[in-house]
Chain A
């Protein structure tokens, strides 16, 4: 009995596990059960049961309720779909004036709003795109096609690449200094001579529209949430779900609402990019010392003055970190939006991957990575830059960067003009290197890949087979073998033991949503892949982090590496693994492991670093050796932070598993991908996205609750 009293939690957990396994053994696999592949759900099968709810007919394979819950939420995707269709095509038709046909036409109001929004976005994107690349659509928008035929001079010529490159270099210099400036210069030159200029500028124009709009909305909503508790409470669950929702999944409803193309992608990008901006705005405003606010009030500020003259400037850094986040999210969306027809680098990458031209994909991927690093470093430099006093500088000193840029514009135009003589009859390389007409190393890489395959095929194949048959298949079978009721008991029990009744209820709700959706089996597969990835990532990340922490230089170096890898859009990770492992589950899992190791490593180092120096010294004076210090002092104190790392690792792993569907996995991601090409896919895609988000939120809730309690216990909250 003594031991029960000493470790009550331990026995509670043991009890929970015993119940779980007992349920697993007690509930047999029904004979009729099989993992449903592909389109089976949409084929009518006489063995299926049906029910009708809200007028939607749901077909499903009925099992023992203990084994699999019936898809009571099966009507939800269909209902979302029908509602969207109704909104877009039938709800509130109104008379609208049509410019082209010069008459009034009846149209549903949502459709009209969507069309107008789309038109505005298209105009903005085209405008920036034509400044960078040239074109005539913007001029036409103000005049007419006839006018442009008569005045061909009015076509925008586009900026020579030399000027854009110089602009990026000078801006980097102003923000950070020589290092970043030379990086910017090299990146721009690389993009240009490898013939990626046009897609890069298309992607850039996408970001230049999406990022400022997301910033404005995010800032406004952040301020509103800061001002009003009620708005904050209303926004909070949405923010939470958006953070764990795979970016991929929001693309599907965008298709229905806004169609295919850059404009739809920009609008949906805002949906993804606004939440982090709101969070960081809120965080920044909250972090302002109360005395600064009081000082503002005592200076006689009105509410308006207080916000714009005191609060926002004081929170400047956090808000600019938000801008950094917005830019990075926009960039990664710009790549992924290729799935709904956005032009640019992502489109080229997707094309190359589809053709299995790894060399081309690698070039595009490298280009994407370089731009990602550049954008990240530039925006961070902006956030960290402190204002200097400039009142005592002369006009020349104050505006030297601007003047310098002016000079380069002139030189760039001159160079482009000289180019017309130099490259007569061919492309003017001093103006713009056309797509795929630059240097290309694709052949080299393709040959390299072939060589790797020829040389190592046997080993890779053997490894692949071993991994799949010995590890992955059994693990997958184990996950699918869990009866729904047992899983539910396990998750809810864990919630209760960690966070009490409140946590239990939250995770119960989240799990039930997934269990009652038609995709429980798929969710289990997603979870199994994520679990495998997370376990390996954590082992690697925790050990690498601990090792690197032993030395200050290596710790700093590793954090830098994490920073860089984190900026790459997740999609890019698929290129090298496809190159090495071909199209298998192994590739996806390796991509998951690489991607998810980043937060595991980072949080380990950060956690260990945050152990107070005083404790360190106290331990040393007590005569501990390095190993004892690590196990007795540093790990226990860093553990809560490392658990937050685990939380991030899970989210990253889930994202990658979902994107892995592109290579071909049999999980939720596969259905999301399918929904993209299905004209009734909106509801399915959205529900699937919510399912994935909920898987992430279940773990998020459990881990966070535990960490908060633990931190309070350790007194480091």
Chain B
């Protein structure tokens, strides 16, 4: 892909004093166990992928799976042990300190799990911080930060200190701060994990609204599979530093590549995740009923209508053109059908 904003080629991150030599000796064939015996811990193991412009890649994995480490390699908060990382075609690992700072000041924004706000600055000062670091005049940076305050819906609280805000509000500040420099690439490291479930859902919706508007290139880290399904364009599932599967949410739910991935998908309410488009028959037969459904509908919303039909139902796109069909049995199979065997 030519418009890949982030591109990783066999990225490795191995912790330990002689990690580099061991990686070279292993010839790219890293086995976590043998490495551990020799005192090295494998964080990221041979990660290769691309994220294109405006796409949201969610990296999902349990704690210790290396997802945060991978993100820190790409933001170069730690240096990868091996492999190549390109940001908009630029070789990240070859940048010197000054160029790296320039890149972060203009291209990257990052949100953290524990918010990581500066305790001695007010909301608006926190948001203006990256701008002031760049050397923008105080008044300009504050007025820009005020726009951001409005964007995340914190107007009226701009002069509060972080200690006076709730968790959700603090994370709004964190989000606003990461967006203040108008970065192209947006890193989010478990941004909603520290919030309680109701606030989390609210923040996810808010986040989707923002992304609709801003169309950033996003890498989003989470340990919550439902969150991944809800937000992602594509999901990368990681285990022990290895990317087990990288695909669209629908494909992961329908065709889990490994036993490990399947465990996550088993409990997923498919009707809430899958779209008609994901399960429809691409071939259009003539024997269709009168009902027509949009291909972007979530199954749950139209299942009742389809199931009351006897014939197959026509699937149309936005231009009302018929692109496929779906019959009630298919719906039943999808929702209740043999999950273990994945019909």
Contacts and interface: CB of A to CB of B under 8 A. Distances in A.
Interface stretch (A99-107, A383-391, A428-436): A383-391
Contact of B104 (A297, A309, A313, A392): A297
Contacts of A295: 110, 112, 116-118, 174, 177
Interface in B174-214: 174, 177-178, 181, 187
Contacts of B72: 294
A294 B159 contact: no
A426 interface: no
B1 interface: no
Nearest to B77: A294
Given A298-B75, A314-B120, A387-B120, A291 B129 contact: no
Contacts of B48: none
B338 interface: no
Contacts of B129: 299, 309
Most B CB contacts (10 A, CB to CB) among A289, A297, A298, A387 go to A298
Interface string A385-416: 01101011000000000000000000000000
Most A CB contacts (10 A, CB to CB) among B112, B115, B187 go to B112
A301 B133 contact: yes
Contacts of B106: 300
Contacts of B177: 295, 299
A289 B114 contact: yes
Contacts of B122: 389
A630 interface: no
B169 to A, nearest CB: 16
A305 to B, nearest CB: 6
A292 interface: yes
A677 B129 CA distance: 58
Most A CB contacts (10 A, CB to CB) among B101, B117, B177 go to B101
Contact of A300 (B112, B116, B119, B134): B134
Interface string B107-128: 0111011111111111000000
Nearest to B113: A291
Given A298-B110, A300-B101, A300-B133, A292 B116 contact: yes
A387 B134 CA distance: 25
Contacts of B109: 298
B159 A391 contact: yes
B159 A313 contact: no
B144 interface: no
A300 B113 CA distance: 19
A387 B118 contact: no
Contacts of B102: 300
B119 A291 contact: no
A297 B118 CA distance: 13
B114 A298 contact: no
Contact of B120 (A297, A302, A313): A313
B116 A289 contact: yes
A314 B112 contact: no
Contacts of A392: 159
Contact of B118 (A300, A310, A389): A310
Contacts of B105: 299-300
A277 B102 CA distance: 35
Contacts of B117: 292, 295
Contacts of A305: 133
Interface string B162-182: 010000000000100110010
A299 B116 contact: no
B264 interface: no
Interface in A363-401: 386-387, 389, 391-392
B161 interface: yes
B249 interface: no
Contacts of B116: 289, 291-292, 294-295
B104 A300 contact: yes
Nearest to A289: B114
Contacts of A309: 129, 133
A391 B105 CA distance: 27
B108 A298 contact: yes
A316 interface: yes
Interface string A306-317: 000110011010
Most A CB contacts (10 A, CB to CB) among B118, B122, B177 go to B118
B241 interface: no
Most A CB contacts (10 A, CB to CB) among B102, B112, B116 go to B116
Contacts of B174: 295
B174 to A, nearest CB: 8
Interface in B289-315: none
Given A299-B177, A300-B101, A314 B77 contact: no
B43 interface: no
A300 to B, nearest CB: 3
B300 to A, nearest CB: 37
Contacts of A294: 72, 77, 110, 112, 116
B270 to A, nearest CB: 36
Most B CB contacts (10 A, CB to CB) among A295, A301, A309 go to A295
B260 to A, nearest CB: 28
Contacts of A297: 77, 104
B189 to A, nearest CB: 8
B133 A298 contact: no
Nearest to A317: B119
A389 B159 contact: yes
A316 B120 contact: yes
B61 interface: no
Contacts of A316: 120
Contacts of B181: 300
Interface in A272-306: 289, 291-292, 294-295, 297-302, 305
Nearest to A391: B159
B130 interface: yes
A297 B110 CA distance: 10
A442 B109 CA distance: 70
Contacts of B121: 313
A289 B115 CA distance: 10
Interface in B12-57: none
Interface string B130-163: 1001100000000000000000000000011101
Interface in A340-371: none
A301 B110 CA distance: 14
B164 to A, nearest CB: 10
Contacts of B187: 298
Interface string A552-569: 000000000000000000
Contacts of A302: 101
Contact of A386 (B110, B114, B134, B161): B161
Nearest to A300: B105
B118 A298 contact: no
A292 B102 CA distance: 19
Nearest to B114: A291
Nearest to A389: B159
A598 to B, nearest CB: 32
A298 B177 CA distance: 11
Interface string A566-586: 000000000000000000000
B77 to A, nearest CB: 5
Interface of B: 72, 75, 77, 101-102, 104-106, 108-110, 112-122, 129-130, 133-134, 159-161, 163, 174, 177-178, 181, 187
11 contacts: A294-B116, A295-B110, A298-B109, A298-B110, A300-B105, A300-B106, A301-B133, A313-B120, A389-B122, A389-B160, A392-B159
Given A295-B116, A300-B130, A389-B122, 14 more contacts: A291-B112, A291-B116, A292-B117, A294-B77, A295-B177, A298-B75, A298-B104, A298-B109, A299-B177, A300-B101, A300-B104, A300-B105, A313-B118, A313-B119
Interface of A: 289, 291-292, 294-295, 297-302, 305, 309-310, 313-314, 316, 386-387, 389, 391-392
7 closest A-B pairs by beta carbon, nearest first, are: A300-B105, A295-B116, A299-B130, A291-B116, A298-B110, A300-B104, A291-B112
